Each structure stands twice: as structure tokens, then as C-alpha cells.
């Protein structure tokens, strides 16, 4: 059989299995999630195998349908479910490490301790390797990627909002805050900087209030997750704070990042290293009022660096998180030599400082070296709407670039040349270079239905430089 035909058949089978899995997993989380098996997980059929990552937690997994408590005494099970979702490919639903090493490909890092992780090509959607990719776990503030992808297009960035006390109601104890004050006015641009840089739950709640309230926003987020085929996800709180029943997976978080990166503003915010944020209005002895600013810095340590970790070359976002139940979580995107990778890491067992970033950096290094030398073990599926639109004869892969729509896949720069920019709005700092990465779209017809393998070019993807 010719090579192109083999590739077509492989893609067709992957998408068909994903479609069937989507139907099977459309039930509520409490019913669709399988219980973890007390026996050893089946060994992966890979070139290299690894057992599930260790953990100190002994409580029932959120995958059992029992709601995880936000208290410190509960955490996900030490053992992943034996059967997980197969969206994106059957191997992604298997427990343990999935990788198919070919000739000349490097072996995976030996010191990975995360319960779940995934390395994927951000544009083609190929999953290069994974570990328990569909394990439903508490996501922490990485859930803010879905919040941003859902709500960000609703309001122009120059929209001004005066904060009402009820806007800040309902935040969890110990929430991360950017420092929003009641009675003060902020632009939407300010609020999104607070969400992405400081992971401010206060900024999330104000934006949710503007969007009609927390309850309505949560409903919209769950609907958007279903549209993205992120079927492991159940949203309870829009900010990612530990809540009973709130779960996602490394696979789904990667889908959220990939969708969000189609939006120009999303790319700007998630790649901003530092910015000026409005302070509190004060009045001097003469009755004159003034309002200063204070600096906020991105808590993504692969972007901003720290005393024990350097800024990762080519990093461009996207979001980190850390709570009692979730541990440390992170999804990052980076570019090297024209290759754009997404890596998600959830809950490393090692408690070393910045461990989640260190393991992410190792997986990025491996992914860039292994690209083109491994056989993909699955793929990141396209949103339902993007698949349907791509099946239409008039669909064009460059339409909608930077339009803010989740399915937009345009190049964003017809010349194909890098576009330079300098300082962003409201004092946001950092020089960034926009990339014009073009890509194609493969539409497959099999069994009387259109089957889609979607390339998502990332126009204007920013690369951070010191």
C-alpha cells in the first residue's frame, strides 16, 4: 500500500476512534469516569515503558466519580484508571508512558515524576509521547486557559469596569490575587494581565461578573470544553480553585492552550513577562486624588526565570497552577527552529522547588530532539466546529487568522516574514517577535463522512528574549 494511503488510513482510524469515544464520554463526569483499578496498570505497548508516577496521596481518584474535597487531607489516587478516554487515539487511553522510539531518537528523560504529561506538536497536533494523558486530575489555575479561551473574545480590551463588592464574592480561602480593590475602575486589558501574570482569582471573578456571573461562566466553559472535545474536563470554579468534582487532564489542558493560542490577545497576555497594574486611588491633604501603579511579574518561571531555573529558550507561555489537591501543574508552548511544541505536566511527585518547570523543560528538550524521529502515539483532535467547517468545499485554511475565534487557523501575515513589535499596552514589557507559520489542512473522506486532521498554524506566536 502506498505510504500516503497508509497515512490516510491511520488518520482515519484515529479520528473514527475519537468520534466513538466522544459519544461514549458525553455522559456526566460522575457516570462517565471509570474507577481506578487496585491492580497494577497494564504495561504500555511501547518501545519504552514506565510505571505510573509515584505519589503520596491515597484518597479515591476524582475519576471514580466521587468529588475531590478541597481540604488538604484529600488528593487523587496514586494509581491511574486502567481505562481512560481514547480521544485522540487508543494509546492515549492506556495507563503509563506511551512512546514509539524510531532510529536515532533520544530516550525519554529518566527522572520524570509527574502523574501525567504530554508532548505534542502544536500545529500538526501529533502527540510525540505521553504518560497517563487522559487521567482526570485537579487542574489548579491551568483551568484559567479554558476561562480565557471562553471569555476573552467577549469584551474589547479598552472596556472599563468599576468593581462592585459582589464581584469579588465567593473566592476560595488563600486564593492567588493580583490586588483588585472594590470601587476602583479597571480596563479589561488590566484584568487579563492580572489573570495571566499573577493568576489572580480576583481578576477572574470580576471578568466572570462582567460576563453575567460565575454560574453562567462555568456553564459556558463546560460547553466550550465539549466543543473542543475536551471530554475529561468538568468545570466547577472558573479560576481553577480546588472544588468538588473539578477535573481535567493533560490532554484537555493541551487542547485549551492550542485553542487559546489562536487568539492574538491570548498570545500577548500569556507571553508577557511583566506589566504595570493600577493601584489604589489615594487622596492627599489638599484633597487631590491620584492613582499609581505597581509592577506584576509572570509566575510562569520558564518565562520569567528564577534563582534555580533559567528562562527557557523560545518559550511563549502559557499557564501554570498550584493548589493543595492539584499539586503543581503547567502547560507551556515553545518554538525552536520552526517547530512549535506544547508540553503539559501535572503534579510531579518530587517536591523540589520549581520541579514542574524543570520536568517541562526536560520534555521540551526531548521533544525538539525527537521531532521527526518518533512515530506519533496519537493526536490533538480539532474542535467540533473546526472539523465541520473544514469539511466544507469553500473552507480555506487561512481564513479567520487572529480573529479571536477558537477555530481560526490563518497565517496572520501574508508576507511570511517575521513581524517585530516592542512594548505592549498598559506598560507591559518585553520585546517579542511574531512568527508567520503557515500550514495546510488535510480533509479525509472515509465511510461517507468527512474525517479531519487539522493543522493549526500559530500566527504571531511570540518568542521571549532576555
Catalytic residue list = 141, 144, 199
- Do residues 137 and 248 touch, judged by C-beta distance below 8 A? yes
Q: How close are the terminal C-alpha atoms of the chain, in Å?
A: 50
How far apart, in whole angstroms, are the C-alpha atoms of residue 320 and residue 348?
13
- The grid coordinates listed for 258 are 492550542
- Whether omega before 286 lies within 30 degrees of 0, making that bond cis, reads no
Distances (CA, A) of 111 to 115, 215, 302: 12, 41, 19
Cα 20 vs. chain centroid, distance in angstroms?
Answer: 24
Closest listed residue to residue 239, CA positions, set 136, 148, 163: 148
How does DSSP assign 71-113, residue by residue? STT----SS--SS---TT-GGGGSSSEEE-B-TTPPPPPTT--
How far apart, in whole angstroms, are the C-alpha atoms of residue 215 and residue 211?
10
Q: How many CB atoms lie within 10 A of CB 1?
A: 7
Angle formed at CA 265 by CA 258 and CA 232, multiple of 5 degrees: 30
DSSP 3-state percent helix, strand, coil across the chain (nearest 5): 30, 25, 50
Q: How many CB atoms lie within 10 A of CB 329?
A: 30
- Do residues 129 and 364 touch, judged by C-beta distance below 8 A? no
Cα 450 vs. chain centroid, distance in angstroms?
Answer: 27
Sign, CA dihedral 128-130-135-136, equals negative
Q: What are phi and psi of 89, to 5 degrees?
A: 140, 145
Distances (CA, A) of 140 to 130, 131, 152, 202, 380: 20, 19, 19, 15, 22
Amino acid at each position: 500500500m502506498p505510504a500516503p494511503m497508509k497515512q490516510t488510513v491511520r488518520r482515519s482510524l484515529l479520528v473514527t476512534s475519537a468520534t466513538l469515544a466522544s459519544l461514549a464520554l458525553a455522559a456526566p463526569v460522575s457516570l462517565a469516569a471509570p474507577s481506578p483499578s487496585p491492580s497494577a496498570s497494564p504495561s504500555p505497548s511501547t518501545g519504552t515503558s514506565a510505571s505510573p508516577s509515584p505519589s503520596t496521596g491515597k484518597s479515591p481518584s476524582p475519576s471514580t466519580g466521587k468529588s475531590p474535597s478541597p481540604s488538604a487531607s484529600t488528593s487523587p489516587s496514586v494509581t491511574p484508571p486502567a481505562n481512560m478516554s481514547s480521544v485522540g487515539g487508543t494509546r492515549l487511553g492506556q495507563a503509563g508512558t506511551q512512546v514509539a522510539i524510531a532510529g536515532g531518537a533520544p530516550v525519554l528523560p529518566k527522572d520524570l515524576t509527574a502523574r501525567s504529561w504530554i508532548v505534542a506538536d502544536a500545529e500538526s497536533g501529533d502527540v510525540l509521547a505521553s504518560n497517563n494523558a487522559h487521567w482526570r486530575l485537579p487542574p489548579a489555575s491551568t483551568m484559567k486557559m479554558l476561562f480565557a479561551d471562553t471569555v476573552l473574545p467577549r469584551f474589547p480590551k479598552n472596556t472599563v469596569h468599576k468593581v462592585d463588592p459582589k464581584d469579588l464574592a465567593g473566592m476560595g480561602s488563600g486564593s492567588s490575587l493580583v490586588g483588585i480593590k472594590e470601587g476602583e475602575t479597571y480596563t479589561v486589558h488590566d484584568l487579563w494581565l492580572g489573570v495571566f501574570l499573577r493568576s489572580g482569582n480576583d481578576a477572574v471573578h470580576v471578568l466572570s461578573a462582567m460576563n453575567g456571573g460565575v454560574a453562567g461562566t462555568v456553564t459556558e466553559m463546560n460547553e466550550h470544553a465539549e466543543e473542543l472535545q475536551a471530554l475529561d474536563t468538568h468545570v466547577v470554579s472558573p479560576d481553577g480553585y480546588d472544588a468538588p468534582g473539578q477535573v481535567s487532564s493533560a490532554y484537555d489542558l493541551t487542547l485549551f492552550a492550542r485553542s487559546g493560542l489562536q487568539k492574538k490577545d491570548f498570545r500577548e497576555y500569556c507571553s508577557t513577562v511583566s506589566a504595570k497594574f493600577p493601584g489604589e486611588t489615594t487622596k492627599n491633604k489638599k484633597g487631590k486624588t491620584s492613582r499609581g501603579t505597581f509592577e506584576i511579574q509572570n509566575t510562569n518561571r520558564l518565562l520569567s526565570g528564577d534563582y534555580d531555573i533559567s528562562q527557557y529558550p523560545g518559550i511563549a507561555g502559557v499557564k501554570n497552577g498550584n493548589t493543595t489537591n492539584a499539586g503543581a501543574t503547567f502547560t507551556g508552548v515553545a518554538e525552536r527552529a520552526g517547530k512549535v511544541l506544547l508540553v503539559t505536566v501535572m503534579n510531579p511527585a518530587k517536591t523540589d522547588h520549581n520541579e514542574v518547570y524543570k520536568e517541562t523543560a526536560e520534555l521540551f528538550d526531548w521533544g525538539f530532539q525527537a521531532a521527526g524521529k518518533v512515530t506519533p502515539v496519537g493526536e490533538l483532535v480539532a474542535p467540533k466546529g473546526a472539523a465541520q467547517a473544514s469539511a466544507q468545499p469553500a473552507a480555506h485554511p487561512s481564513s479567520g487568522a487572529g480573529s479571536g475565534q477558537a477555530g481560526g487557523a490563518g497565517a496572520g501575515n501574508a508576507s511570511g516574514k517575521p513581524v517585530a513589535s516592542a512594548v505592549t499596552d498598559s506598560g507591559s514589557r518585553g520585546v517579542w517577535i511574531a512568527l508567520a507559520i503557515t500550514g495546510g489542512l488535510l480533509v479525509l473522506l472515509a465511510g461517507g463522512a468527512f474525517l479531519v486532521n487539522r493543522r493549526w498554524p500559530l500566527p504571531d506566536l511570540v518568542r521571549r528574549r532576555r
